[in-house]
Structure 1
Amino acid sequence: MSKRRLDAVDKRIVEWLSRDARTSNRHIAAELGVTEGTVRARIKRMEEEKLIRITAVTNIDRFRDAALAYIWIEVERSSQAREVAEQLAAMKELGFVALMMGRFDILAITMVRNYEDLAEFVHARITGLEGVRRTESTLGVNFVKHDYRMARIVG
C-alpha cells in the first residue's frame, strides 16, 4: 500500500478530530461540504496508512499531585544512543523517548509526584544502563500551553 500526502480535505478532517475525536462523520462532512462516506473512507485510509491514530489522552492539568519530568540523557558513545533509547522505551513509566540533536542524546518524559520520586527513578532505573554517561532532570511546574496535538508541522 503506497502512502500519500494529506490533501486539504484530509487536513481539515484531522483538524476536526484533533479538537474532539468523537465528532460524528456526518457533522464533519456537513462542515466540509463533502459526503459522510467521504469522511469515513478518508479516516479509514489515514488510519490504515498509520497517518493518524484516534485515541484518548489524559489531561495533565487534572493531575494536581503529579508533575511532568524531563530526563535528559547523554550517552558515552553516539553509537549507543539508539540501544539506550530502546531500553528506555521498554520502561512502562516513560511515556516519551526520543533521540535528540544537541547537548543531550536522548529525552525521556514521565510523570512523578515529587523530586524524590524522580531522583529514585533516575538513579535506580536509568543511570545504571550501560552506555549512560550522565543525566539531567527538570520538572515542569506550571504549563502555560500544553497541546497534546503536537503533530502539526510548521511550514
Structure 2
Amino acid sequence: MTKRQLDDLDLSILEWLSEDARISNRKVAIELGVTEGTVRARIKRMEDEGQIRITAISNINRLANPTLAYIWIEVEKSSQTDDVAQALSAIPEIGFVAKTLGRSDILAITMVQNNAQLASFLHSTISGIEGVRRTECSLGVNFIKHDYRMSRIV
C-alpha cells in the first residue's frame, strides 16, 4: 500500500488533534470549513496508514518523582549498532531509541523514580545486551517544557 503525503488539510487536522485529541470531528470541521465526514475520513486514513496514532499520554508533571534518564550507549563494534538499537527498542521501559553521531552510538531514554532504580536497570538490563561496551547517563530533573506532541520521545 502506498502512503500518501500529508497535505495541508491533514496537517491542519493534526494541529487541532495535537491540542486536544478528544475534540469532536464536528468542531474541527467547522473550524476548517470542511464536512465532518471529511475530517473523520482523513483521521481514519492517517490511522490506517500508520501516519498517526491517537493515544492517552501521562502528564509528566503529575508523576511523584519523575526523572528522565538519557542513556548514552557505546557499542563494541559499529556493525552491532543496529542489533543493539533493536534490542533496546524491545525493552518496555525505554520510550525512545535513536542511533546517534558523535561520542556515543545510541541514545535511549527512560523514566525512573530514583537513582537506585536507574542503577538496577543499567546493570540488570542494559549491560546484558550483547554488543554494549559502555553506558553514560544524564538525568533530566527539572522539566521546563514538555510538548505533548513530542510525547513519543519520553
Could you say which TM-score interval applies, normalised by the shorter chain? over 0.9
Q: Is the 8 A contact 2:66 2:141 kept in 1?
A: no
TM-score w.r.t. the length of structure 2 is: 0.92
Query: Which is richer in helix?
Result: 2
Unpaired stretches in structure 1, ≥5 consecutive residues:
none
- Work out the CA distance in 1 between the residues paired with 2:48 and 2:103: 37
In structure 2, distance between residues paired with 1:43 and 1:33: 16
Corresponding residue for 1:90?
Answer: 90
- Secondary structure at the counterpart of residue 72 of structure 1: strand
Q: In structure 1, how many angstroms separate the alpha carbons of the residues matched to 2:59 and 2:39?
A: 27
Alpha-carbon distance in 1 for matches of 2:140, 2:28: 35
* 8 Å contact kept, 2:73–2:107: yes
Q: How many residues align?
A: 151
120-129 vs 39-48, greater mean Cα deviation: 120-129
Counterpart Cα distance in 1 of 2:102 and 2:64:
32
Q: Give TM-score scaled by structure 1 length.
A: 0.92
Runs (4+) of structure 1 exceeding 2 A deviation are none
d(CA) in 2 for partners of 1:90, 1:10: 31
Matches within 5 A, 1:1-155: 1-150=1-150
Shift of 1:81: 0.8
- 117-126 or 17-26: bigger deviation: 117-126
- Displacement after TM superposition at 1:150 (Å): 2.5
Post-superposition CA distance 1:115-138 (Å, at most 9, x none):
121112111211232211110011
Aligned counterparts of 1:112 and 1:60: Cα–Cα separation in 2: 12
1:8 Cα deviation (Å)? Answer: 0.9
Shift of 1:148: 2.6
Structure 1: distance between partners of 2:129 and 2:9? 46
Q: Choose 33-42 or 108-117, whichever is displaced more.
A: 108-117
Task: Quickly say closer, same or farther: Cα 1:150–1:93, change in 2 above 3 A.
Answer: closer
Identity value in percent = 66
Counterpart AA for 1:82: D
Give secondary structure in 1 for the equivalent of 2:149: coil
Q: Deviations over 1:4-37 (max 9, x none)?
A: 2111111000000011110000000000000001
